[in-house]
Structure 1
Amino acid sequence: MTSLAPADATEIQPATTSSLPFKLAIVLALAALADFLFYNAWIGLSLAVFAIAVAGGSWLANRTTLDRRSTLVGAIVLLVGLVPAIEEVNTVSILFVIMALALGLLLATNPDTTTLGDGARALRNLFLFGPFRFFLEVLQIFSLSSFTRGIAAWFLPAVLSIVFIALFAAANPLIEQWVTLLNPKLILDYVSVGRILFWAMMLALIWPFIHVRWRKRRAKAVAEAAEQEPAVAARAEFLGAPTILRSLILFNVLFAAQSVLDALYLWGHAALPAGVSYATYAHRGAYPLIVTALLAAAFVLVAMRPGGPAEKSPVIRLLVYIWVGQNVLLVASSILRLDIYVAIYLLTYWRIAAFIWMGLVALGLVLIVARIMLERSNEWLVGANLIALTSVLYMASLVNFDAIIADYNVTHSREMSGKGVQIDVNYLSQLGPQALPAIEKVMQLRPNEACLVGRRDRLLERQRLDMASWRTWGFRSWRLQRRLDAQAKDPAKDPAKDLAKSPAAG
């Protein structure tokens, strides 16, 4: 390691475009090492090995700007921080490794850190903003010529298209089959949605330690502004109208393919190809498609930001409207898929929450279109979504979900309807006293089941205790008690008896 004598020479100069390919190669190598060490594997000594590798990569990428003494101190801090992880990997030791890496990097590469406040601000920027820099700064590589700038304009559309295809393949067995035909060994044995996301996360986390950029003091920031103009231009071109237009064309084509398949097989009930069952097609796609819609919404917000280059383009606005419409249809398909799943496997609190969440996602997409059409700010969009969320949560607080879940599960169970799954009495009893009317229906089908009687009696006792004092009184519990009292006085009015006499129940 070479020590630079002049004091000002220890300043970190902005990385030039010629150094970025070398740094990118280091980051890719470290991401590959992380894949080898961590993906689908238990973490132990591998954490310390990876931390040392990251520190070595950081030294290799920034060695010309380092001071020998501060680098030695940073290395000692790192080694001390690795000791707990070598002893035992747990939450605390992982935090020590992360902080030791950050402090070691700070000591070795940031001469502006003279006070505790400077260090705290630098670490805040490293952890809060550092992981978001990779996908923007790496595109500085493509600013070397008009040809490479053209490639850069396709970088974002291509990457996001691959992500969307991976999500569609996870949600749709037909698309999965088509993707598999491209290269079965690569797709099935190695590449997966989880692995792609793992690599993206590791690249974003490692990049700040390799391409080091601390926030400068104001005087230095002014002096460096001129040198950073090419990078700013590259980022502007990266998010410019040509890139957004290319992205929207590709995305609309991809989403149209998924929408056509859903229209044929999910909504139209067309005959599926051999080897693909309707249940498989309907059940597996609800949650990946919601993730897809959320990514789409994030892209629209970035692409159509107020004052951005794409906001005034009629063609881009039309493509955005079409794409958002396709995303709303995608959310509707997700709701239908979940509805089919619930019809077979019955209701739970999480499935009700999924229905509500999907509705909010659809509403959020509509509000994004409203923001664009009305030319409102992102603050208006956030406020509208918060109002919608608050309203939905307020209404949900007034709904007796315990009774709805219990009644639905009993009515649509195999014992009552002749299809679906059997009644889960354990889950019904966990819903509390509000499930008593539904449990009474079950008792008509299983009159001699002692376990069921015991559960009913415990819920009755809990209901009695809730009504015994004004401190635990609730209007919902009071309504339930009135129903139970009326049923006790006149058992002939019990609707469960009529259900028990139905042909399906027999």
Structure 2
Amino acid sequence: MMPPLTKGHLHMTSLASTIAADIQPIRHSSIPAKVGLALALTALADWLFYGERIGLSLSLFAIAIAVVSVLFNHAALDLRRAWTSAAVLVAGLVPAVEELNPLSFLILVAALLMALLLATNPETTELVERARALRNFILLGPFRFFPDVLQIFNMSAFTRGIALWLLPAALGTVFVALFAAANPVIEQWVSLLNPKIILDYVSIPRVLFWTMMLALVWPFIHVRWRRKKVVTADVADVPLPPPLPPLVSAEFLGPSTILRSLILFNLLFAAQSILDGLYLWGHVALPANMTYAAYAHRGAYPLIATALLAAAFVLVAMRPGGPAEKSAVIRPLVYLWVGQNVLLVASSILRLDLYVDIYMLTYWRIAAFIWMGLVALGLILIVARIALDRSNRWLVSANLIALTIVLYSCSLMNFDAFIADYNIAHSQEGTGKGVQIDVYYLARLGPQALPAMEKLIPLRTDVNNLARWRDQLVETQHLDMAWRAWGLRTWRLQRRLDAEARGQSGSQPAG
């Protein structure tokens, strides 16, 4: 409808304008209910018509359309027009009930249209007006469904909603991808979202049928007749209306976005945590075509990447002085999410431990254990920073102190000997299960692997090959004992080798 015109004080003129108007304005609040009834009618049409022979079903469907139309347009009815419309509809139904053929079909459609026109459009009394109204209804009505449904949405709120969910959806997609790389169960779930698989279960002809039926039944539910209306008013020099307010711009990392992100992320991480609790910690039977090794030996590194990304988000979202830092709702969600990330790191450590049990220990795997521990400590320190209301500078300092302590401790560790002893103790030669020891890697560890190699020689059949590697390591050890290359660790190793040599010579019987 045209807004009312305001009479001014200067230069008033008379203006006659012809506009197109609706008898009944659109009430947005009723459109969702109408959409629901339109879908119900379409489902009824699917049941009555799709893949079936049509006869009485068409008459029943016409009656259903008439009932739904009266339900939503009863305000425009009066008793006389209602009885007239009912009589027209019954007259149109009789030939179709007698026998459905092209002629009775056309009569039924014409009766349904005429009954709707008589019941809901009292303004049209002349034959030409009714013909024009029916023409517009037939030509334009089927194309009104989607434009009318879009009026449900407040575009400003819709745009703001997209902005609020953009970051959660983007990061959520990244987390799902990382979880799929780390978890074969989630990978199977994600594979079900393949459009090709979905299309295998979707009938394109049936989708087109539903679309067509929605377009056909909608004009009978959401009735809008077009008519001409002449409006005459005195118009003055009305000041220009103020510009429309801009769309409400959502702060990219405001409390609303952070809250939505944390809710979504907690749900995603909970799914991963539950699966790990069932299969990794609880040893519940896995789905078919999936082995426990495949589940346990995947994804330690993607999960750590997930935890690091989560930590970065928390640092940005809960920045000191930020709008979300003091929120009583967001803070518990942050604590819960960080707790889930710590559990995620624990699962990563367990996965790596299971992997090492089978494929032995290496320097890189030790580094991974240490790195995962530092990540878990960093997450705990993030919670401490938020809870104690400290600055990011404090957080960086605490992490640097932890890193310094760890690196200093690692510098004092004899990883060569530790790796060699561990691999011998967990190898097929040492336990009767697992994989065989990698002699080449053992030799690459240097002279510190000599005690472990001495244990391995009696357990292997290729003694000559092992003896050759041992002799090379012994020669390297002698070179390291020179005063220029001397080190305390090398000296301790030499003392151990000398003691073992004396023990072996003392245990041999005198000849």
- Settle same-fold status: TM greater than 0.5: yes
Per the alignment, residue 478 of structure 1 pairs with: 491
- Rounded to whole Å, the distance in 2 between the matches of 1:378 and 1:147 is 36
Which structure 2 segments of 5+ residues have no match?
Answer: 1-154, 199-245
Question: Is 1:424–2:468 an aligned residue pair?
Answer: no
Shift of 1:147: 2.7
Question: Is 1:391–2:405 an aligned residue pair?
Answer: yes
- Rounded to whole Å, the distance in 2 between the matches of 1:284 and 1:396 is 27
Question: Is 1:251–2:265 an aligned residue pair?
Answer: yes
Question: Is 1:376–2:363 an aligned residue pair?
Answer: no
Percent of residue pairs bearing the same amino acid type: 75
- Rounded to whole Å, the distance in 1 between the matches of 2:381 and 2:196 is 42
1:163 to 174, 178, 192: 174
1:267 to 281, 285, 289: 281
- Partners of 1:259 and 1:326 within 8 A in 2: yes
Per the alignment, residue 10 of structure 1 pairs with: none
Evaluate the alpha carbon distance shift between residue 430 and residue 464 of structure 1 in structure 2; reply closer, same or farther with a 3 A threshold: same
Per the alignment, residue 313 of structure 1 pairs with: 327
Deviations 1:314-341 (A, max 9, x none): 1100000000000000000000000000
Per the alignment, residue 348 of structure 1 pairs with: 362
- Partners of 2:442 and 2:449 within 8 A in 1: yes
1:298 to 295, 312, 318: 312
Letter in 1 for 2:327: S
Per the alignment, residue 490 of structure 1 pairs with: 503
- Rounded to whole Å, the distance in 1 between the matches of 2:327 and 2:193 is 36
Greater relative CO, 1 or 2 (CA 8 Å, sep 6+): 2
- Rounded to whole Å, the distance in 1 between the matches of 2:188 and 2:358 is 26
Per the alignment, residue 158 of structure 2 pairs with: 147
Per the alignment, residue 401 of structure 1 pairs with: 415
For structure 1, which segment, 177-186 or 392-401, has the greater mean C-alpha deviation from structure 2 after superposition? 177-186
- Rounded to whole Å, the distance in 1 between the matches of 2:406 and 2:322 is 32
- Partners of 2:297 and 2:351 within 8 A in 1: yes
- Rounded to whole Å, the distance in 2 between the matches of 1:355 and 1:162 is 27
The within-5 A match list for 1:128-147 is 145-147=156-158
Evaluate the alpha carbon distance shift between residue 462 and residue 273 of structure 1 in structure 2; reply closer, same or farther with a 3 A threshold: same
The within-5 A match list for 1:118-137 is none
Evaluate the alpha carbon distance shift between residue 493 and residue 385 of structure 1 in structure 2; reply closer, same or farther with a 3 A threshold: farther
- Partners of 2:427 and 2:434 within 8 A in 1: yes
- Partners of 2:429 and 2:460 within 8 A in 1: no
Q: Where is the helix percentage greater, Structure 1 or Structure 2?
A: 1
- Rounded to whole Å, the distance in 1 between the matches of 2:258 and 2:385 is 18
Shift of 1:449: 2.2
Bigger radius of gyration among the two? 2
**Structure 1 residue runs of 4+, over 3 Å off?**
184-187
User: What RMSD over aligned residues (CA atoms) do the two structures have, in Å?
Assistant: 2.1
Question: Is 1:238–2:275 an aligned residue pair?
Answer: no
- Partners of 1:487 and 1:493 within 8 A in 2: no
Evaluate the alpha carbon distance shift between residue 448 and residue 269 of structure 1 in structure 2; reply closer, same or farther with a 3 A threshold: closer
Query: Secondary structure of the residue that 2:251 maps to in structure 1?
Result: helix
- Rounded to whole Å, the distance in 1 between the matches of 2:271 and 2:506 is 54
Which structure 1 segments of 5+ residues have no match?
Answer: 1-143, 188-229, 498-506
- Rounded to whole Å, the distance in 1 between the matches of 2:188 and 2:283 is 19
Letter in 2 for 1:296: A
Shift of 1:478: 0.8
Evaluate the alpha carbon distance shift between residue 340 and residue 493 of structure 1 in structure 2; reply closer, same or farther with a 3 A threshold: farther
Query: Secondary structure of the residue that 1:166 maps to in structure 2?
Result: helix
TM-score (norm 2): 0.58
Per the alignment, residue 444 of structure 1 pairs with: 458
Shift of 1:493: 9.1
Query: Secondary structure of the residue that 1:314 maps to in structure 2?
Result: coil
Deviations 1:441-482 (A, max 9, x none): 11112366222111101111111111122x211111111011
Shift of 1:161: 0.6
- Rounded to whole Å, the distance in 2 between the matches of 1:182 and 1:460 is 59
- Partners of 1:344 and 1:419 within 8 A in 2: no
Letter in 2 for 1:168: F
- Rounded to whole Å, the distance in 2 between the matches of 1:398 and 1:245 is 45
Query: Secondary structure of the residue that 1:420 maps to in structure 2?
Result: coil
Per the alignment, residue 144 of structure 2 pairs with: none
